[in-house]
Structure 1
Amino acid sequence: MKRTLLLSLTLLASACGPRYGMRVPDSLVKKLPYETRIELLEAENDLALAIDRVDETDNEVNRARENIRRAKSRQEAAEDEEDRAPDASSREVAQLAIAESEARVEYLRAHQRLNVGLRDVEKLSLRCAFSKFELARLTAARKAKVEGSERLDPKDYEEQVSECEAAVKEERAELAEDTKEAQTAKEAWEAKKAALAKKTFDARASPYVENL
C-alpha cells in the first residue's frame, strides 16, 4: 500500500498544477525524525481513502456505461419483438417492453450524469486530501524545526485547504439537480417496469423484466 500511495502522490503532484498543488519540498520531509514521521500517518491514510473513492467512482461510471449498452440492446430486441408479434396480446406485451426499455435507458443516462458529477467531486476531494497532507508535512517540519521550513508560511497551506474544501462543497451542491433528475427518471422506469411485470404473469420475477 505504501508503494502504491507514493506512486499516486507522485502522479497527483504532477497533475495538480497550480490549483491546490502547493507542496512542501521533499528535501525538508526527508530530514524529519522517525517519531515525527509517525504523525503523518493519519494524513496519509486520509489521502489513501480519497484515492480509493476516486477509483470507486471511476468503476461506477464504467459499470453504468456497460448497463446503458445492455439496456439499448434490450430496447432493440423489444422493438424486434413488436414486429414479430403474432397477435394483439403479444403486441401489447412488446409495446410495454419497449416503453420499459426506453425508460430504463433514460434513467441510466440520467444516473450516469450524476455518476460523472460525483466522480468530479471525488477528484476534487482528492486534491483537498493532498492539500491537507502537504499542510501536515509542513506542520511536522516546523514542529521538528527542520532548516528551511521557517520560510514556508502555514497560512498559505491552510488557505489552500480551505479554498479546496469550499470548492468541494459548492460542487456537491450543484449535484442536487442531477440527483433529482435521476430519481425522477428512476421512478418513471419503475412504473413502466411494474406495468410490464403485471401484464406478464403479474410478478416482479417476470422473464420480461430485468432488474439492475
Structure 2
Amino acid sequence: MKHLLLLTLPLLAAGCGSSYGMKVPNSLVKKLPFEVRIELLEAENELALAVDKVDEANNEIDRARDNIRRAKDRQEAAEDEVDRATDEVSREVAKLAIEESEARVEYLRARQRLSVGLRDVSELARDCAFAKFELAKLTSARKAKVQGSEELDPKEYEEQVAECEAEVKSERAELAEEEKEEKAAREAWEAKKTALAKKTFDARASPYVENL
C-alpha cells in the first residue's frame, strides 16, 4: 500500500493553485484500512493519466514551435530559388514552393493556437481528476467511518467536481472556432502541397514537398 501513497505524492500538486483544490486531510487517508485504500486506485490512475495528457499537450506545443521555425526556413529557401531560377519552369516551381511554405506556416500557426487551447483544457481536466480523487478519498473515509470524516461535507466535494467538469465542457466548446480555422488552414496547405507535387512530377518523395 506504500506504493499507492508514494505514487500519489507527486500528483497532489495538481490541484494546488486551482479553483478546485479542496483536499481531504492526509491524516484521514492514512487511517484508511488497506482494503479501502485499494478502492482509490482507479481515481488515482485517472489523475495520473490526466497529468500525462498535460505533458503531451505541452510537447505538442513545442513540436509546433519547431515545425514553424523549420517552415519559415523552407519559405526563405524557396524565395531564394526564385531569384536563382534560370527558366520559366524552374521559376514557376519556386513560386509554388513559396505558396506551399506560406500555407504551411499559416496552418502550423493555426495548429499551435488550437494546441494551446487544448493544453488549457487538459490542465483544467487534470484539476477535475484531482477533485474526483479527493471526492473518492472522502467517500472511502466515510465508508470506513474514519474519525473526523464526518466533519467534511461530501456535497461540497461533489459540487467541486461538477463545477470543474462543467467548466471543462464550456472551454472545450469554445475551441470550435480554433478547430474550424485549423481545419481550413490545413486544407489550404494540402491544396498548395498537391499543386507543388504535381508540378514536380506528382512524386510523393519530391524534394519540394515535405510532410509533417
* Pair 1:6 & 2:9 matched: yes
What aligned pairs does 1:103-182 form with structure 2 within 5 A after superposition?
103-182=103-182
RMSD over aligned Cα atoms:
1.2
Partner of residue 101, structure 1: 101
Q: Is the 8 A contact 2:57 2:115 kept in 1?
A: yes
| TM score, norm. by length of structure 1 | 0.95
Structure 2 gaps, min length 5 = none
Structure 1 gaps, min length 5 = none
> Equivalent residue of 1:80, what SS?
helix
Shift of 1:187: 0.4
Q: Is the 8 A contact 1:97 1:208 kept in 2?
A: yes
Q: Is the 8 A contact 1:47 1:129 kept in 2?
A: yes
* Change over 3 Å in CA distance of 1:4–1:208 after alignment to 2: farther
Amino acid at match of 2:107: Y
Q: Deviations over 1:76-109 (max 9, x none)?
A: 1101111111122111111000000000000000
Amino acid at match of 2:186: K
Amino acid at match of 2:131: S
* Change over 3 Å in CA distance of 1:57–1:40 after alignment to 2: same
Q: Is the 8 A contact 2:58 2:119 kept in 1?
A: yes
What aligned pairs does 1:37-48 form with structure 2 within 5 A after superposition?
37-48=37-48
Measured in 1, the distance between the counterparts of 2:133 and 2:11 equals: 13
Measured in 1, the distance between the counterparts of 2:14 and 2:192 equals: 44
What aligned pairs does 1:57-96 form with structure 2 within 5 A after superposition?
57-96=57-96
> Equivalent residue of 2:142, what SS?
helix
> Equivalent residue of 2:31, what SS?
coil
Amino acid at match of 1:136: A
Amino acid at match of 2:11: S
Amino acid at match of 1:73: D
> Equivalent residue of 1:184, what SS?
helix
Measured in 1, the distance between the counterparts of 2:69 and 2:108 equals: 10
Amino acid at match of 1:14: C
> Equivalent residue of 2:86, what SS?
coil
* Percent identity over paired residues: 73
> Equivalent residue of 2:75, what SS?
helix
Q: Deviations over 1:35-94 (max 9, x none)?
A: 111111111111111111111111111111111110010001101111111122111111
Measured in 2, the distance between the counterparts of 1:204 and 1:100 equals: 15
